[in-house]
Amino acid sequence: MPRFAANLTMMFTEWPFLDRFAVAADAGFAAVEFLFPYDHPREAIAERLNRHGLTLALFNLPPGDWAAGERGIAALPGREDELRAGVETALRYAQSTGVSRLHLMAGLADATDPVARQTYRDNVAWTAARLADANLDLLLEPINTRGMPGYFLGDFDEAAALIAGLALPNLKLQFDVYHCQIIHGDVTTRLRAMLPLIGHVQIASVPSRHEPGSEELNAGYLFAELDRLGYTGFIGCEYHPRAGTLEGLAWFEPYRASQRDLDRD
């Protein structure tokens, strides 16, 4: 049975961020994720998690200047000191919140530039080693360049090759079904082939990034396939509700009752 984590950056946006934890728990979720925690005190986030019995599945390392359009800095030469300072900030939030995996965004850079490629590889290796000291996993996520033009890491096979090549035990693939379908298609075959590298899965409909199963992909089939493959991690619900978060949770109802029991396993 799949374990779902509500993405509080995209879901429950009808409420202020710190109020979303309670609403997600009331809706039946036992876990949450979000893009960034840094606008809020880590103690406040930890208190919401504890109060509502929620597990924090994932958040992103600092991405540079998000408001100015940056989408990570790991592939940007000359930003190494900033990246390392951001890792230390994220580690403080991880310690407070109990999260066990963090995602490193690559940034907007030419994927064919050898300097950017070496910079990214070096930063991934350094960050994975630093997170290993704290018993945390580092995740890499390919993102489709239709939605994020110019993003450096836009290919699942390249991400898998980098992870396999570095062979670091805490370096994992963040497999977003939405991005995979747009970039490559053939989602199930890639799930099967890449399962040993996968540390986190995310889901949304394609092409509009709404509730799972509402458009061209059979989400129920994919959830069952993940069970058949033996995947026991979280499935992050990283989607934009079509017409209100609570109104769009019919897809979640068959799984709702099991979530608290699964999270205790």
Q: Is the CB of residue 168 less than 8 Å from the CB of residue 131?
A: no
Within a 13 Å sphere around the CA of 3, how many CA atoms are in the beta-carbon half? 20
Active site residue 211: no
141, 211, 215, 247: which one is catalytic?
141
225, 238, 247, 253: which one is catalytic?
238
- Token pair 């109990």: residue: 98
Measured CA to CA, the distance from residue 41 to residue 223 in angstroms comes to 34
CB atoms within 10 A of CB 246: 12
Distance (Å) of CA 219 to CA 102, 139, 203, 223: 25, 23, 8, 6
Measured CA to CA, the distance from residue 181 to residue 208 in angstroms comes to 12
Measured CA to CA, the distance from residue 104 to residue 128 in angstroms comes to 10
Q: Is the CB of residue 235 less than 8 Å from the CB of residue 202?
A: yes
Measured CA to CA, the distance from residue 156 to residue 201 in angstroms comes to 13
Question: Is residue 32 helix, strand or coil?
Answer: strand
Active site residue 238: yes
Catalytic residues: 141, 238
